Amino acid sequence: MFKTIGIISRPRREVLAMVVPDLLKWLAERGVQAIYDEETASCLRKPERVRSREQLAKEAQLLLVLGGDGTLLAAARTAAPRGIPILPINMGSLGFLTSFTREELYPALEETLAGRHATSERVLLRVDYQRGGKVEEEQLALNDAVINKGALARMIELELAIDGDFVCRYRADGLIVATPTGSTAYSLSAGGPIVHPAVESFLITPICPHTLTDRPVVVRDSSRVDVTVKGESEAVYLTIDGQTGIEMNSGDCVRVRRADVHLKLITPPRKSYFEILRNKLKWGES
């Protein structure tokens, strides 16, 4: 039984105002304490239990995410290291990770509080940004790590190595290293395959490669993937889950490995992964 639930939000404020007050009352009636971030508190007249997102992860036994996939991605990097499950409620339209609809909020909570929820464990990337052979920054990513050029820059040169073996040198707008969870995100837009979350793999997808024979590659997630910036590129950036950006120089390296932690994602027990794909991608519709 979850006694303390942390609420993380980032939808439009007017939507929150219609959902959160009743939600807090519903939880209190069931003896569950709710704590919440500043975005959630913004729709309350007298917020009393506001916490930073880092503090939410320390105090809560479950995180309830009200928003879209972007909100969940930010919450995942906080929740995964502490082993806290996330119950994601989609407050918008498209969302592969936030697979519960707004109408399913209370039924999903009922099932979860009763211990009848299904959980999917998702692999995360550990991303080390290196300069001069020294790790300058470490990040976790649920979807992907992307090395790409600035908006006005020319193509960049990137060298890919897997487990120390040279693979190739790309001339492209960038390169995506994604988890199976991230296969339905940027990688899919760049022409990468859809990979079931249970498949132990990383996807390496070039973005607009100069050579059309440079195609996406799938490797085991036990692999070590190194991407090094080559040549004199004008502007190159490393982006984590589309949210955290780091400017890179020639010679800098991004090392990607499977993280030691997993995300526990609560999923609809009566919706298969492929049903969600069909609905989101509108397969079979004319």
Q: CA angle at residue 86 from 82 to 87, to 5 degrees? A: 160
Tell me the two tokens of residue 152. 């006005």
Structural element, H or E, at residue 95: none
Does 165 qualify as catalytic in the annotation? no
User: Cα separations (Å) of 47 from 6, 40, 52, 195?
Assistant: 14, 9, 13, 42
Cα–Cα distance between 189 and 7 in angstroms, integer? 31
- CA dist 88 and 90 (Å) reads 6
Q: How far apart are CA 142 and CA 232, in angstroms?
A: 30
Q: Annotated catalytic residue: which of 69, 144, 241, 252? A: 69
Task: Name the nearest CA neighbour of 276 among 115, 98, 145.
Answer: 98
Dihedral of CA 48/53/56/62: which sign?
Answer: positive
Tokens 């492209």 identify what position?
A: 172
Please give the Cα distance from 70 to 15 (Å, whole number): 17
> Sign of the C-alpha dihedral, residues 162, 206, 178, 184?
negative
Q: Are 213 and 179 in contact (CB under 8 A)?
A: no
Q: Would you please indicate which residues are annotated as catalytic (active-site) residues?
A: 69
